[in-house]
Amino acid sequence: MARNTFHRRSLVASLVQGVKILEKDRQRRSIQQDAHAHAPPWWEGFHFQLNHVLVDDKNSYFGAIFELKYANPLFYQSTPTPPKYVIAFRGTITRSITRSDDMKLNIKLIFNKLEKTSRFQKAFEAVWNTVMMVGPTNVWLAGHSLGASMAMLAGRNMMKARCNLETYLFNPPFLSLPIEKMIKNETLEFGVRIAGSLLKAGIAKAINIYRKDPEEDLFAALSEWMPYMFVNPSDPICAEYIGYFEHRVKMEGIGARSIERTATRHTMRSLVSGAVGRDSEPLHLLPTAYMTVNNRPSENFKQAHGIHQWWQQHFQWQSMLYKFN
């Protein structure tokens, strides 16, 4: 089974990398017309073909729809239904002509405005149309870094429409202070997190921001969606997901489950927004995830944040299902 899990993870990570190389091929062609395409091997090796390229308003390739030509037997061993389509989104390309546009999207993400961007709207339209064409069991989502946020947001919105898509999130950004990286003392960290939970739960109760009607509880409604999340503790962009999910387990262990059930769905920013009548849903907070942590030491940020680590096979990983019941 481990080998099959490795195969699926390697597949989707390679397809995401294929989108990045696809954009680099596009940029190379604008410089030298005889540039060879480097992207196809990233999907052809897994028996996929490029069905459609997702292009933003600046003509940048930010995503792609890959179609399975024929099913590898490994798929049938690891999942009952192999994906007919995988929709993948690349992360930020720091050394390219698209860097400025990518960084603007990262800023939009920080301020919880990614959903309103034209790039995401094009992405979600592609996801919606594909799912409506072939059904949710035939579509997987995947993304790295900024692309992981795109896939996460698309998966959340589809789940609200009762479409549960298998989703793979590599180094997804956590949009709050990285306590996991800032505080090295475990006891002090737990104390800070408890204080934060009490504060958020208290504010939520004071302003009556939580919904009492289960039918209106969007966070709980997302609990059946189980994205596969891949994080590195040395990566400050995604490391806080480790503390976020582990804290929920610890709070339940000390009998504070009800407090954390309220606190886990909010950030201080979302509470303030909710208090003034604005959208208060933090898009990076998840009720459920199957999280894999790469505990292998990283030499630098590039290695800790890079997608290349996720198609490598080694034994310094830990995986855990965190579910909001």
| Tens digit of each residue's pLDDT (9 = 90 or more) over 174-219 | 988 778 777 778 888 889 889 999 998 898 888 775 444 444 578 8
**Which residues, at least 6 apart from 228, have a Cβ–Cβ distance to it below 8 Å?**
9, 166, 167, 168, 169, 289, 290, 292
Q: Where are the beta strands (DSSP E) in 56-192?
A: 61-68, 85-89, 139-144, 166-170
Distance, CA of 195 to CA of 31 (rounded, Å): 55
pLDDT of residue 8: 87
Q: Tell me the pLDDT of the chain averaged across its residues.
A: 87
Q: With respect to residue 205, please indicate whether it lies within any of the assigned structural domains.
A: no
Residue 128 in this model has a pLDDT that exceeds 80:
yes
- Mean pLDDT check: name the lowest of 77-81, 241-245, 271-275, 300-304: 77-81
Q: Residue 289's beta-bridge partner residues?
A: 322
Q: With respect to residue 210, please indicate whether it lies within any of the assigned structural domains.
A: no
Mean pLDDT of 62-82: 74
Q: Considering its fold, how many domains does the chain have in total? A: 1
Q: With respect to residue 85, please indicate whether it lies within any of the assigned structural domains.
A: yes
Distance, CA of 20 to CA of 61 (rounded, Å): 8
pLDDT of residue 279: 61
Distance of CA 170 to the CA centre of its chain: 6
pLDDT of residue 253: 92
Q: With respect to residue 292, please indicate whether it lies within any of the assigned structural domains.
A: yes
Distance of CA 80 to the CA centre of its chain: 23
Q: With respect to residue 83, please indicate whether it lies within any of the assigned structural domains.
A: yes
pTM of the model: 0.91
**Which of 70, 72, 77 is closest to 3 using CA atoms?**
77
Distance, CA of 301 to CA of 92 (rounded, Å): 14
**Which residues, at least 6 apart from 125, have a Cβ–Cβ distance to it below 8 Å?**
none
Q: With respect to residue 223, please indicate whether it lies within any of the assigned structural domains.
A: yes
Q: With respect to residue 277, please indicate whether it lies within any of the assigned structural domains.
A: no
pLDDT of residue 3: 46
- pLDDT tens string 80-121: 567 999 999 999 998 778 888 999 999 999 988 999 999 999
The range of the structural domain enclosing residue 69 comes to: 2-183+216-257+283-322
Helix H or strand E segment including 225: none
Q: With respect to residue 278, please indicate whether it lies within any of the assigned structural domains.
A: no
- pLDDT tens string 17-34: 999 999 999 988 865 555
pLDDT band, residue 40 (cuts 50/70/90): very high
- The better pLDDT of the pair 275, 173 is held by 173
**Which of 150, 301, 248 is closest to 141 using CA atoms?**
150
Residue 116, judged by CB atoms within 10 A of its CB (0-12, 13-18, 19+), counts as: exposed
- Mean pLDDT check: name the lowest of 75-79, 203-207, 228-232, 307-311: 75-79
Residue with tokens 């292009």: 55
What is the CATH classification number for the domain harbouring 62?
3.40.50
Measured CA angle at 248 (ends 246, 250), to 5 deg: 70
Residue 139, judged by CB atoms within 10 A of its CB (0-12, 13-18, 19+), counts as: buried
Amino acid sitting at position 232: N
